[in-house]
Amino acid sequence: GENVEQHPSTLSVQEGDSAVIKCTYSDSASNYFPWYKQELGKRPQLIIDIRSNVGEKKDQRIAVTLNKTAKHFSLHITETQPEDSAVYFCAAPFLKFGNEKLTFGTGTRLTIIP
């Protein structure tokens, strides 16, 4: 079935340290892997994404890596800051009967400790 597993569900790191969140997906045909950040009471917003023809993508302090063989992708945040505290979601599209179903992971609550 179409499944995206995300770990850990909660993560606390000291300010300045790195944080890593991992996701695995079930459909080898999935070709797009975004990460969303949701601050308290707000809508999720895209922070970085990667396509299946690329192994790694960086944008300042955040990076995403993709291992298509193992069907997993990870979010890396370096030099964490208090404003990085939020819930992070990974997602993957699944093609079903010609329709694309965008499925999200269960989320990771990241807390940055000052």
Applying CB under 8 A, the residues found at the interface with another protein are 6, 31-32, 34, 36, 42-46, 49, 51, 89, 91, 93, 96-97, 99-107, 109
- Which of residues 19 and 34 has its CB atom nearest to another protein in the complex? 34
Q: CA-CA distance, 23 to 4, in Å (whole number)?
A: 7
- Which of residues 32 and 113 has its CB atom nearest to another protein in the complex? 32
Q: CA-based Rg of the chain, rounded to a whole angstrom?
A: 14
The pair of three-digit structure tokens given for residue 36, joined into one six-digit string: 């969303």
Residue 60 CB, nearest distance to another protein (Å)?
18
Residue 79 CB, nearest distance to another protein (Å)?
25
Residue 90 CB, nearest distance to another protein (Å)?
10
- Which of residues 49 and 78 has its CB atom nearest to another protein in the complex? 49
